[in-house]
């Protein structure tokens, strides 16, 4: 298999088995239609991007039943508010300027820009409608170069482009990057936030690999890919969301070079352009699976789960943990409740039953929200799945 970005032959480092679409929670009468995809992880020795092998069709993931709503976490709402403040206070968006968010979900971020020229681009109809109903201006489309041309024709070029946990999802990366470059004004900036490959490596959080996330970037890979597409990585910051993320600030290539001192730190501390790091990671993943299964078998089917995350789909299907080991998973998202988890078909139940049931041993699948969730239960033995 060749790299989707630079066409170099990829090197495989991890096989997570056959996996269903990670966020596709199912009604009990719909199980026969479920499809599985081989989740293998690859490293590109040329541009250093990590990417998955087989991908479902994007329309099968992002449609009118998309189960991820940005607004489910109060912490994330605050996080987006702070990013909006940074954009406003840092004068990145001039008076009368234009901001575009790609992957605008239910509008949680863009609601901070009511009254400004803004546009969300979101392919999943259900979340997009939620945003529009709340007065956020949106285009219900998959972003690519062609859509960038259309936006430019109608609205003009953007001062600020934002992608948060969306850029890794967009399989047509070449077209997306050409589109972003075109859409960005000569003085414009693109702010992209995504799970940081270095954090995934450090925590060995292999559950962040699922078929919605096609690509994973290190600082080195992002910088290299930007150059390939006539852009320049101008600044980077670590962000404490989604288990450790990185925020990349990108400009056109001909803008003044960055004088951001932290850039050197990333360069110095990262070592993610060598394949053996990934081979070692794969060995640790196997150990983690063993440890998790031992713990589950010791509890003899008396464990429950908290947070029906996409991440849980990877762990449950890789470890083959079904209702014989985890009875149910509690979650606050209405569209997931009353359905079954992808692949292993564990019932998803409303969060309010958690207090009533008062479970003792709970697998925290939403470990990235641990601070927010730990407040919810007393006397619980929380178990990490990874």
Q: How far is the CB of 46 from ligand TYD (least distance, A)?
A: 29
Residue placing its CB nearer to ligand TYD in the complex, 231 or 344:
344
- Residue from 18, 275, 351, 382 that binds ligand TYD (CB under 6 A)? 351
Length of the chain: 386
Q: Degrees (nearest 5) of the Cα angle 101, 102, 108?
A: 55
Residue placing its CB nearer to ligand TYD in the complex, 211 or 332:
332
Residue placing its CB nearer to ligand TYD in the complex, 135 or 334:
334
Residue placing its CB nearer to ligand TYD in the complex, 84 or 386:
386
Q: How far is the CB of 61 from ligand TYD (least distance, A)?
A: 12
* Per-residue x/- track, 39-78, ligand TYD (CB under 6 A): -----------------------------x---xx-----
3-state SS, 286-307, equals HHHHHHHHHHHHHHCCCEEEEC
CA–CA dist 39, 16 (Å, integer):
5
CA–CA dist 214, 212 (Å, integer):
6
Kindly report each contact of residues 75-79 with a partner whose C-beta sits within 8 Å and lies 24 or more positions away, as own/partner: 75/241, 75/369, 75/371, 75/372, 76/108, 76/241, 77/108, 79/239, 79/241
Is the separation of the CB atoms in 160 and 100 below 8 Å?
A: yes
**Binders of ligand TYD among 276-315, rule CB under 6 A?**
307-311
**Binders of ligand TYD among 352-381, rule CB under 6 A?**
366, 368-369, 372-373
Residue placing its CB nearer to ligand TYD in the complex, 103 or 188:
103
Q: How far is the CB of 369 from ligand TYD (least distance, A)?
A: 4
Residue placing its CB nearer to ligand TYD in the complex, 351 or 382:
351
Q: How far is the CB of 184 from ligand TYD (least distance, A)?
A: 27
Q: How far is the CB of 3 from ligand TYD (least distance, A)?
A: 25
21: phi > 0 → left, psi -120 to 50 → alpha, else beta; which?
beta
Give the residue nearest to ligand TYD (CB).
309
Under rule CB under 6 A, residue 195 binds ligand TYD: no
Q: How far is the CB of 37 from ligand TYD (least distance, A)?
A: 17
Q: How far is the CB of 365 from ligand TYD (least distance, A)?
A: 7
Residue placing its CB nearer to ligand TYD in the complex, 164 or 251:
164
Q: How far is the CB of 371 from ligand TYD (least distance, A)?
A: 9
**Binders of ligand TYD among 317-346, rule CB under 6 A?**
331-333, 336
Nearest to 122 by CA among 173, 188, 169: 169
Instruction: List residues binding ligand TYD (CB under 6 A).
Output: 68, 72-73, 307-311, 331-333, 336, 351, 366, 368-369, 372-373
């Amino acid at each position: 298999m060749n790299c989707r970005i630079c066409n170099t032959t990829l090197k495989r480092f991890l096989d997570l088995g056959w996996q269903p679409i990670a966020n596709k929670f199912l009604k009990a009468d719909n199980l026969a239609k479920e499809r599985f995809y081989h989740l293998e992880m690859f490293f590109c020795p040329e541009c250093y991007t990590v990417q998955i092998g087989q991908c479902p069709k994007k329309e099968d993931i992002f449609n009118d039943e998309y189960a991820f709503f940005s607004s489910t976490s109060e912490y994330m709402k605050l996080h987006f508010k702070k990013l909006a403040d940074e954009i406003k206070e840092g004068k990145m968006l001039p008076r009368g300027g234009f901001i575009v968010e790609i992957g605008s979900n239910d509008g949680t971020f863009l609601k901070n820009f009511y009254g400004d020229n803004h546009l969300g681009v979101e392919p999943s109809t259900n979340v997009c409608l939620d945003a529009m109903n709340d007065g956020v201006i949106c285009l219900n489309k998959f972003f690519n170069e062609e859509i960038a041309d259309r936006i430019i024709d109608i609205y003009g070029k953007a001062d600020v482009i934002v992608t948060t946990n969306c850029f890794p999802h967009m399989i047509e990366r070449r077209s997306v990057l050409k589109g972003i470059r075109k859409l960005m004004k000569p003085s414009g900036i693109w702010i992209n936030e995504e799970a940081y490959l270095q954090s995934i490596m450090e925590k060995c959080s292999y559950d962040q690999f699922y078929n919605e996330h096609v690509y994973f970037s290190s600082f080195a890979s992002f910088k290299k890919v930007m150059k390939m597409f006539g852009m320049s990585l101008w600044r980077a910051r670590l962000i404490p969301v989604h288990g450790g993320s990185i925020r990349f600030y990108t400009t056109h290539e001909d803008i003044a070079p960055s004088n951001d001192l932290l850039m050197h730190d990333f360069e110095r501390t990262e070592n993610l352009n060598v394949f053996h790091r990934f081979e070692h990671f794969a060995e640790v993943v196997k150990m983690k699976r063993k440890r998790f299964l031992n713990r589950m078998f010791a509890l003899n089917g008396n464990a429950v789960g908290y947070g029906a995350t996409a991440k849980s789909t990877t762990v449950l299907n890789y470890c083959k943990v079904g209702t014989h080991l985890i009875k149910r998973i509690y979650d606050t998202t209405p569209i997931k409740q009353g359905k079954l988890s992808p692949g292993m078909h564990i019932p998803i139940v409303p969060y309010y039953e958690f207090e009533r049931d008062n479970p003792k041993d709970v697998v925290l699948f939403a470990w990235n929200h641990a601070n927010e969730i730990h407040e919810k239960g007393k006397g619980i033995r929380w178990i990490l799945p990874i």
